[in-house]
Amino acid sequence: QEPESPEVSQFGVAAGRIPEVPFGLSTSPAVMSHYGVTANTVALFRRVDNDRRDLDMSSKDVDAEKMTHFIRMNELRLVTEYNPVTAIGVMQSSLQLHLLLITDKMSPKHPEQMHRYRAAAELFKGKIFFILVDSNLKSNERIVSFFKLKKSQLPALAIFHTPDEEQDVLTLDEVSVERVQDFCNRFLQ
């Protein structure tokens, strides 16, 4: 409620550290009422599952470091890269269907694959959580082996239903919107 407060300057520092996340600041009572905010709060709105996470700013020890950590742990995008930092947000997602693109991020085909994977993610927003798993990360080796894949079989799509652990895997020579869409629709049926 105080635009000149130290918390606001710390918020600005956090916003500068994460340029890919849109930040906004409001002191409007109407906006605060609309979102049910009664105290200084960082509200994180997640596009992928329309969920919201709040960080209470009333304690004096919340600084840019803690805000950045809170955002990194809880942000989920249309396609979220799986790593030790995002793992908590992934596990806490309200979406029970996870689609993993397990691929080599160093591949020259990677930018085009991601473009198509994101386009497919738009089609299933709010239904399926799209995740990117970089097969080069040592910490992701257990994911590759969990789906009984070898590096020679990548890229691959793996879909996983969290409540009953039902799953399916599709190895790909090419990532296309149509292949991803067909694979998801088959699993949903």
- Does residue 108 sit within a domain? yes
Domain total for the chain?
2
Find the domain containing 12 and state its range: 6-75
Who wins on pLDDT, 151 or 58?
A: 151
Q: What are phi and psi of 41, to 5 degrees?
A: -140, 140
In this structure, the answer to whether residues 52 and 100 fall within a common structural domain is no
Q: Which long-range contacts (CB under 8 A, 24 or more apart) does 7-13 make?
A: 7/40, 7/57, 7/62, 10/62, 10/63, 10/64, 10/67, 11/42, 11/64, 11/67, 13/64
In this structure, the answer to whether residues 25 and 105 fall within a common structural domain is no
pLDDT of residue 173: 87
Q: State which of 44, 75, 106 marks the end of a domain.
A: 75
In this structure, the answer to whether residues 92 and 69 fall within a common structural domain is no
What's the whole-number mean pLDDT along residues 97-112?
94
In this structure, the answer to whether residues 162 and 95 fall within a common structural domain is yes
What's the whole-number mean pLDDT along residues 154-175?
93
In this structure, the answer to whether residues 53 and 139 fall within a common structural domain is no
- Does residue 1 sit within a domain? no
Numbers of helices and strands, H then E, in the chain: 7, 7
pLDDT tens-digit profile of 47-83? 777 788 899 887 778 889 999 988 888 877 889 999 8
Q: State which of 75, 102, 133 marks the end of a domain.
A: 75
Most distant CA pair in the chain, distance = 57
